Structure 1
Amino acid sequence: MDLPVRPPVLPMLAKSVPAVPDSTDYSFEPKWDGFRAIVFRDGDEIELASRNTKPLTRYFPELVEALRAALPQRCVVDGEIVVARDGRLEFEVLQERIHPAASRIKLLAEQTPASFVAFDLLALDDVSYLDEPFARRRAALERALTTGDAVHLCTTTADPVVARDWFTRFEGAGLDGVVAKPLTAPYSPNQRTMLKIKHARTADVVLAGYRPHKTSTPQKPLLGSLLLGLYDGDQLQHVGVAASFTAKRRAELIEELAPLEVPLEEHPWGRWAEFLTANPDRVPGTQSRWSQGKDLSFVPLRPERVLEVGYDHMEGRRFRHTAQFKRWRPDRDPESCGYDQLEEPVSYDLRDVLGG
């Protein structure tokens, strides 16, 4: 490709802050929950590169055609690939597109077509925009992009009051929070020059088991992640995992939790041992298309201990990301830890976000 900015390019990143800054020095926009992608176009040639510069083009054939219609002949654009269903983003559905079979990709492209949300411009024609301030990059992007059903221009605001409103309302459409971009900053690949504000919540969950760490050995056992559950009526459902412990703490937890170990057939999740393939709840001990050959077995524990974890938001009936261990809750009864404690986001139609 003969472009002023050529692949590979690592995208500009964001650092977490606790709240939307009360400043007009930023451009605020929704934080999309999809695949970050930089699009390179040189005539009919289009390449989609992931956050870690891996090729995504073959997985989204319908986007290639849409981008040809929407983008200038020669450009580099930063954005997000998303899949929407029933008025909200569906990351799980998006993940299904990373599949080795071309026939499967073609089918999914027809059944659950992806969209591209453009939010930054890195190059246009023979000009690199990397050193231009974001305000100029955004203005040039607005002039250059032709939007359509599958290609959208990310909505923005310079008003922090509006951004705080988006932070609350847009979550119901499956969005992840808000991003703040300094209006005068250049595009700095792989640098955390932007700000991101994500939802932070806590929940009391039941400890139901653990998986050994990938470096665990019989001589030096180490805990990898805690398996978490919530009660739905009298059924203990798998809701996610908590990880990120120090090496010392991983060893201590193995000893601390040993008295709770039980045979799988005596555990509430024992019935899941019969499953051999992935299932909608992604329960422990099952295989998935992402983990062929990977050992997903777990050590069952009597569901007697409760812990408080931090999480950002839910995806269906599970935590979207790995939860953060906060503290043990010896004052809580495991049976009292249900889904009713979780905060429900305001319902919001994604079409309203894209049309803003």
Structure 2
Amino acid sequence: MMLRPPVEPMLAQAREGIPAPGTLPGGLALEPKFDGYRALLFTPSEPGGPVLLQTRRGSLIQQHFPDLVAAAAQLPQALVLDGEVVVWHEERLSFEALQRRAASGARTAEALARSMPAHFIAFDALQKDGQELVREPYARRRAVLESLFTEHSLGPPWTLCPMTTDPAAAQQWLEEWTEVRGIEGVMIKGLGQRYAGGSRGWFKVKRRTTAEAVVGAVTGSLARPQVLLLGRFDDHGRLRPVGRTTPLRPAAAAELSALLRPGGPGHAWEGVRFSAAWGSPRALEALTVVPDVVAEFHADTAFERGAWRHPVRFARVRLDTTVDDVPLFGAGQDPAEG
């Protein structure tokens, strides 16, 4: 049977470093991890049929990307690709521009496609010529993907994701390529792995930076804080949100509970609504605190409009540092510098 949406994509579990070659079946295949929208592209099985673009959660979003739909005329019928939708804007990969594209209405989708064209970075072929490939090993699927680009002389907006079997080369990507905005880290797959939709059979390693911010609010209680909401002061002295931590470990929560004091009336974040996740409609129940505790944390490179999109990992309280030592909001281009 041919694949039809929704198809569950195969997922990855986080690792701290590139694993040993024998960790996954058949040896390692390593790819750069791009910070975009995970998407599956379906070309029609018959002439005149619709081109479909499915998100990781199963929603269809092709109406927001008419440029990709039009460019799919270059692709063969009954093809299913797994990849990442990205937008190159103002000399860099821009997640903010990608969000604008994904939220565009019918009136603006075409205009945004011209000013902020999308690209599809393909890293897997799940079907070709109506033939399912999910039971084939990754090495076979990769060969099909590479031949697709060669046979059809594909160029922008279609991009073949780089791949290497050399861990040393992937380590260099992790150290150097991730300095480019929009590249988060490295994906690790087994050359002998089948495509198991919904399972976390792959690995991902993200580059992390160390940074500092001020604790402005918490979830839970002051006696047992669960998540820290972090901020930085701007050049007008206003505390601006920059991120939230993953849930605290008990020892860290106990240390912080002895230092945090309730924020009084007039706190900069009084009445501010904090989302449970980037773009999520669900709000956190937050308690403001006096913004005089500095937290050091580890964060990935998903940094946009002065804030970290993904939860950061609390490392320690900086008792040797005051809020005046923390970089200002938007002070530099490097996330670690504000």
Q: Answer yes or no: is 1:302 the counterpart of 2:290.
A: yes
CA distance in structure 1 between the aligned counterparts of 2:283 and 2:13, rounded to whole angstroms: 33
Cα 1:192/1:285, change in 2 over 3 Å = closer
Cα 1:297/1:86, change in 2 over 3 Å = same
Partner residue in 2 for 1:239: 242
Q: Which moved more, 1:235-244 or 1:148-157?
A: 235-244
Query: How far 1:189 moved relative to its partner?
Result: 0.6
CA distance in structure 1 between the aligned counterparts of 2:6 and 2:269, rounded to whole angstroms: 45
Partner residue in 2 for 1:334: 323
CA distance in structure 2 between the aligned counterparts of 1:253 and 1:97, rounded to whole angstroms: 43
Q: Which moved more, 1:131-140 or 1:327-336?
A: 327-336
Q: Which moved more, 1:223-232 or 1:60-69?
A: 223-232
Cα 1:225/1:92, change in 2 over 3 Å = farther
1:91-130 correspondence runs (5 A): 91-99=95-103, 101-130=105-134
CA distance in structure 2 between the aligned counterparts of 1:328 and 1:290, rounded to whole angstroms: 28
The answer to whether the 8 Å contact 2:216/2:230 transfers is: yes
Cα 1:179/1:167, change in 2 over 3 Å = same
Query: How far 1:229 moved relative to its partner?
Result: 2.0
Partner residue in 1 for 2:60: 55
Map Cα deviations across residues 240-259 of structure 1 (whole Å, 9 max, x no partner): 22243589x99x89986874
Query: How far 1:120 moved relative to its partner?
Result: 0.4
Partner residue in 1 for 2:90: 86
- The Cα RMSD (Å) is 3.6
Cα 1:26/1:286, change in 2 over 3 Å = closer
What TM-score do you get using the length of structure 2 for normalisation? 0.81
Partner residue in 2 for 1:192: 200
Q: Which moved more, 1:187-196 or 1:238-247?
A: 238-247
CA distance in structure 2 between the aligned counterparts of 1:53 and 1:104, rounded to whole angstroms: 23
Cα 1:305/1:154, change in 2 over 3 Å = same
Partner residue in 1 for 2:232: 230
Map Cα deviations across residues 155-191 of structure 1 (whole Å, 9 max, x no partner): 1111111111111222214201011111111111111
CA distance in structure 1 between the aligned counterparts of 2:39 and 2:316, rounded to whole angstroms: 37
* Aligned partner letter, 2:317: W
The answer to whether the 8 Å contact 1:10/1:53 transfers is: yes
Cα 1:148/1:343, change in 2 over 3 Å = closer
The answer to whether the 8 Å contact 1:223/1:253 transfers is: no
The SS at the match of 1:166 is helix
The SS at the match of 1:156 is coil
The answer to whether the 8 Å contact 1:67/1:151 transfers is: no
Cα 1:290/1:167, change in 2 over 3 Å = closer
Map Cα deviations across residues 24-65 of structure 1 (whole Å, 9 max, x no partner): 821211101111111112233211111111111111111111
Map Cα deviations across residues 125-177 of structure 1 (whole Å, 9 max, x no partner): 23211111111101111112342221111111111111111112222142010
CA distance in structure 2 between the aligned counterparts of 1:255 and 1:193, rounded to whole angstroms: 38
CA distance in structure 1 between the aligned counterparts of 2:317 and 2:212, rounded to whole angstroms: 9
The SS at the match of 1:137 is helix
The SS at the match of 1:261 is coil
CA distance in structure 2 between the aligned counterparts of 1:173 and 1:100, rounded to whole angstroms: 23
* Aligned partner letter, 1:56: I
The answer to whether the 8 Å contact 1:312/1:320 transfers is: no
The answer to whether the 8 Å contact 2:136/2:195 transfers is: yes
Percent of aligned positions that are identical: 34
Count of matched residue pairs: 319
Partner residue in 2 for 1:160: 167
CA distance in structure 2 between the aligned counterparts of 1:14 and 1:124, rounded to whole angstroms: 24
Query: How far 1:223 moved relative to its partner?
Result: 6.5
The answer to whether the 8 Å contact 1:261/1:302 transfers is: yes
Cα 1:175/1:260, change in 2 over 3 Å = same
The SS at the match of 1:206 is strand
Partner residue in 2 for 1:178: 186
Within the candidate set 193, 206, 209, 1:201 is matched to 209
The answer to whether the 8 Å contact 1:306/1:332 transfers is: yes
